[in-house]
Amino acid sequence: MKIAMVASEAAPFVKTGGLGDVMQALPAELSKIKGNEIALFLPYYKKIKQDSTIEVESLGSFYMELSWRESYVGIFRLKTRRKKLQVYFIDNEYYFGARSTIYGDFDDGERFAYFSKAVMAALYFLDFKPDILHCHDWQAAMSIIYCRALYGSWCPDTKTVFTIHNVEYQGWADSTFFENTLGLPKEYQGYLTFDGAINMMKGAIEVADIVTTVSKTYAEELRYPYYAHRLDGVLRGAWLWGITNGIDTTVYDPATDPALKTNYSAKEMTGKWDNKLALRQELGLRTDTDAPILALVSRLAGHKGIDLLCYIANRLMEREVQLVIVGTGEKQYEYALSALARQHPGRVAVRLAFDPGLASRVYAGADMYLMPSKSEPCGLSQIIAMHYGTVPVVASTGGLRDTVPPYNWDTEEGRGFTFQSYNADDFLGAIDRAVGLYYNDRDRWNRLAKHDMEVDFSWRQPAAEYMQLYTELRQK
């Protein structure tokens, strides 16, 4: 199958969050399947241009209309390519090459509309007629609409898939954007219009052959206003499918991770305890205690549930535990957590940093991983934590619910500790159950951690589910 993948980020080239991880692993996994040919499209950001380790070759350039604008489109291809997986970069100095921003510019709507249209023009230029056009999040949403509106006679059999990684960001613009920037035939205005404005995610939801999201539970939740950020009505009318993400188990592997003090595996977990000691030493936590280390590595944002943690912090510190927090984000949380660390030297360590090496050492050295998110489309860090033998304590929502079934003391089934409603006392209750098992039955605790390490979180299964979906679509 010929599959074109379109996204605004993909590791190792550019990554700001979980989307970047998915776009690294999913195309690679699909390219291993016999008969598949994958073309991944990304903007040629300044950061990528300047990275001398990323070698590219130019395939050509042309001019493209974006409403009244004549815009340059350069096409570069990654040189160290594998036959089955080609990575293409869309080059435009004004939109991507001359600025450092990935997201957050005043003209993001225009930049990514340009990118989405340029991808279709590039496919045509390369004569790569995809069986499946798979676009991720609002920044790539418009490719689906340009595909239908302008390339229908060139690729009439192409099926389109739109994946929602986070419904909070939808690509809103005012109503003049339709004529002034998008330059689409009039009949597409209705798909894109929402509450008198333009909403690019809504357009893709309506026009795509199928909409998917990154866990089964989130697919259910998106039908309700509490989660859907106003798109619940539109999503209730869509063919919406959930496929839970995996992790790249070659990148995240405690047996080979170079950031760790000692590598270890489910078969031989003793190395994990070396990492626990090393983590305490690195962060200035007391070493003369048997306390469990509770950890959280996250953007410090409201919807990640940091307010719940702040609310219970003092009561939590009445327990015999240590707490490690790594991340940056909203100032009120940075202040509150730093103050907590000052009040409890040797017991609480807070690092206001985005530091992948430290993150790895925390996943390896901690006993419990906290993730009290208010909503979570999939979540990757709870999966990485389990893969490193760290037991998650999570809110039972979205992908957290699908990846962390609750532990059952009698049968020893389940993978972690969960709480149902978004409530700080329930969160503390779940922590208490975890801490209770840790202190009262260390054998059971160790078996749970080992069991979590043994779960297959690779992309094999999710990639097979995407293939099944693509195949069904093509038969329709």
* Residue 163: CB minimum distance to ligand GLC, A: 8
Q: Show Cβ contacts of residue 284 under 8 Å, excluding neighbours closer than 6 positions.
A: 345, 346, 349
C-alpha closest to that of 372 among 381, 363, 364: 381
Task: Tell me the angle at which helices 460-475 and 18-31 cross, rounded to the nearest 10 degrees.
Answer: 70
C-alpha closest to that of 370 among 358, 389, 355, 385: 385
Extract the runs of DSSP E, i.e. beta strands, from 232-367. 240-242, 293-297, 322-326, 348-351
Spatial distance between the Cα atoms of 79 and 274, rounded to a whole number of angstroms: 41
Q: Show Cβ contacts of residue 407 under 8 Å, excluding neighbours closer than 6 positions.
A: 391, 413, 414, 415, 416, 417, 433, 437, 448
* Residue 360: CB minimum distance to ligand GLC, A: 18
Instruction: State the residue for tokens 């038969």.
Output: 475
**Binding of residue 397 to ligand GLC (CB under 6 A):** no
Considering the complex, state which of residue 122 and residue 247 has its C-beta at the smaller distance from ligand GLC.
247
- Interface with ligand GLC by CB under 6 A: which range of 16-24, 89-97, 105-113, 312-320? 16-24
* Residue 422: CB minimum distance to ligand GLC, A: 16
Of 111, 117, 134, 165, the one binding ligand GLC by CB under 6 A: 165
From residue 248, alpha-carbon distances to 190, 384, 416 in Å are: 39, 9, 21
Residue of closest CB approach to ligand GLC: 18
From residue 255, alpha-carbon distances to 269, 367, 383 in Å are: 10, 17, 16
Spatial distance between the Cα atoms of 241 and 382, rounded to a whole number of angstroms: 22
* Residue 399: CB minimum distance to ligand GLC, A: 6
**Binding of residue 305 to ligand GLC (CB under 6 A):** no
**Binding of residue 245 to ligand GLC (CB under 6 A):** yes
* Residue 64: CB minimum distance to ligand GLC, A: 29
Considering the complex, state which of residue 74 and residue 379 has its C-beta at the smaller distance from ligand GLC.
379
Spatial distance between the Cα atoms of 264 and 195, rounded to a whole number of angstroms: 54
* Residue 120: CB minimum distance to ligand GLC, A: 24
* Residue 435: CB minimum distance to ligand GLC, A: 26
**Binding of residue 302 to ligand GLC (CB under 6 A):** no
* Residue 353: CB minimum distance to ligand GLC, A: 19
Considering the complex, state which of residue 165 and residue 361 has its C-beta at the smaller distance from ligand GLC.
165
Considering the complex, state which of residue 18 and residue 392 has its C-beta at the smaller distance from ligand GLC.
18
* Residue 372: CB minimum distance to ligand GLC, A: 14
**Binding of residue 214 to ligand GLC (CB under 6 A):** yes
> Of residues 345-384, which lie at the interface with ligand GLC (CB under 6 A)?
376-380
Residues 110 and 178 sit within 8 Å (Cβ to Cβ): no
Number of residues that bind ligand GLC (CB under 6 A): 14
**Binding of residue 385 to ligand GLC (CB under 6 A):** no
**Binding of residue 272 to ligand GLC (CB under 6 A):** no
Considering the complex, state which of residue 131 and residue 307 has its C-beta at the smaller distance from ligand GLC.
307
CB neighbourhood size of 33 (10 A): 16
Q: Name the strand (E) or helix (H) holding 71.
A: strand 69-78
Residues 181 and 110 sit within 8 Å (Cβ to Cβ): yes
* Three-state secondary-structure class, residue 90: strand
Dihedral, CA of residue 466, residue 467, residue 470 and residue 471, to nearest 10: -150
Of 3, 10, 19, 362, the one binding ligand GLC by CB under 6 A: 19
Considering the complex, state which of residue 246 and residue 292 has its C-beta at the smaller distance from ligand GLC.
246
**Binding of residue 18 to ligand GLC (CB under 6 A):** yes
Spatial distance between the Cα atoms of 47 and 311, rounded to a whole number of angstroms: 39
What does DSSP assign to residue 82?
A: B
- Interface with ligand GLC by CB under 6 A: which range of 12-20, 55-63, 253-261, 464-472? 12-20
C-alpha closest to that of 16 among 256, 244, 329, 310: 329
Considering the complex, state which of residue 178 and residue 227 has its C-beta at the smaller distance from ligand GLC.
227
> Of residues 188-207, which lie at the interface with ligand GLC (CB under 6 A)?
none
Of 166, 212, 244, 322, the one binding ligand GLC by CB under 6 A: 166
Considering the complex, state which of residue 365 and residue 379 has its C-beta at the smaller distance from ligand GLC.
379
**Binding of residue 22 to ligand GLC (CB under 6 A):** yes
Site residues (vs ligand GLC, CB under 6 A): 17-19, 22, 165-166, 214, 245, 376-380, 399
